[in-house]
Amino acid sequence: MINAQTKLFCVIGHPIKHSKSPDMHNAALKKSGINGCYVAFDIAPEKLCDFVAGMRAMGIAGANVTIPHKESIVKYLDGVTKEAEIIGAVNTIFVENEKLIGDNTDGRGFIISLMKDSGFDPKDKKVVVLGAGGASRAVVSKLADEGCSEVAVYDIDSEKSEILADKVREVTKKNSVLSIKAKELTEKAKEADLIVNCTPVGMKETDPVILNEECFNTKQVVYDLIYNPEKTALLKSAEKKGARILNGMGMLVYQGALAFEKWTGEKPDTEVMFKMIKGE
Ligand code: NAP
C-alpha cells in the first residue's frame, strides 16, 4: 500500500531503464513488510546537482547511484564513508542526521558473494583481476584487505592498472597489489587461485576473449562481474577446463542488500532478491 507514510528509495543513472534494482528492492521491501517504494530516475549529468537538492527537499530515504554518476556525485554530498573514499566512487546514499552520506557497497557485496556462493577464502591466495575501472577499484581493495598474497591487476591501458595498484597499496597499506602487462598475463592467470573479470568484455557476443583456455584449471574459481549474459565466453571457457565459475548476480544482490540494511536497519531476504533478478 502506498500512502502518506511511504518511504521513497531510488536508483539514479543515465540510462537507467535496464536496471533490475527496482524489482529487487521492491520485492525485499514487500517481504520485510516495510512501507516503502523504490523507483528509478534517469538523471542527465547536468541535472545531478538538482537531483541531490530534490533528494533533500523530498526527503528521499536512500538512493543507489550507477553509471555515469558514481564519481561526480561526491561533490554534492555532505560526506562519504571511508570505503567510498578509498574506492573514489559512491554507489549508495544514506541519510544520517539530515546529512546525505555516500557509501560504496560494491566491494563488500563482491566479497560476500565470493565467500558465500563459492566458499572461497581469499586469505593467502593469488588473484588476477582483469580491468582497472571503478568496479575493479572496489574489488581489488577488498581482496587486498582480505589478505590475498598477490592481487595482479591487468588493464588494456597499463597506465590505469599502475595508477590503481599504487592507490590501493597506499590506502590499504598492502604490498600484495601489483600491476601486470599483457605479456605476463597468461602466466599469472595459470598460477592464480582466483580470476576476476572487472571489464565489460563479454557482454556482447562479438567481444574479444581476454584469456584463452590454457589459463584455466580445476583448482580455480573464476568470477565474472557481468551477469547478463549469465555465462560469458570467459566463464564458458573456464567451466570447460573444470574451474568453479560465478557470475556477478551475487555481487549485485549483496551490494543491494547492504544498502537496504543501511536504509532500513533490517536485513532483507536475499533469496527473494535473487529470484526477482532471475525472473523466477
Ligand atoms: P569501467 O569503469 O569502464 O572499467 C572497465 C575497465 O576495463 C576499463 O579500464 C577498460 O579500459 C578496461 N578494459 C576494457 N577492455 C579491456 C580488455 N580487453 N582487457 C583489459 N581491460 C579492458 O567499468 P566498471 O564500472 O568498472 O564495470 C566493469 C564491469 O563490471 C561492467 O560489465 C559492469 O556492468 C560490471 N559491474 C557489475 C557489478 C555487479 O554488481 N555485478 C557492479 C559493478 C560493475 P578502457 O576504459 O580503456 O576501455
Active site residue 70: yes
pLDDT tens digits, one per residue of 265-277? 999 999 999 999 9
Q: How many A from CA of 129 to the centre of ligand 1?
A: 11
One-letter-per-residue 3-state SS of the chain:
CCCCCCEEEEEEECCCCCCCHHHHHHHHHHHHCCCEEEEEEECCHHHHHHHHHHHHHHCCCEEEECCCCCCCCHHHCCEECHHHHHHCCCCEEEEECCEEEEECCHHHHHHHHHHHHHCCCCCCCEEEEECCCHHHHHHHHHHHHCCCCEEEEECCCHHHHHHHHHHHHHHHCCCCEEEECHHHHHHHHHHCCEEEECCCCCCCCCCCCCCCHHHCCCCCEEEECCCCCCCCHHHHHHHHCCCEEECCHHHHHHHHHHHHHHHHCCCCCHHHHHHHHHCC
Atom of ligand 1 lying closest to residue 137 CA = 26
Q: Which ligand 1 atom sits closest to the C-alpha of 109?
A: 40
Query: What confidence category does residue 1 fall into, taking pLDDT thresholds of 50, 70 and 90?
Result: confident
Tell me the per-residue pLDDT of 151-184, one tens digit each, with 9 for 90 and over.
Answer: 999 999 999 999 999 999 998 889 999 999 999 9
pLDDT score for 256? 98
Each residue's pLDDT tens digit, 235-264 = 999 999 999 999 999 999 999 999 999 999
**Ligand 1 pocket residue status of 68, Cβ below 6 Å:** no
Q: 31-61, pLDDT tens digit by residue?
A: 999 999 999 999 999 999 999 999 999 999 9
pLDDT beyond 90 at 280: no
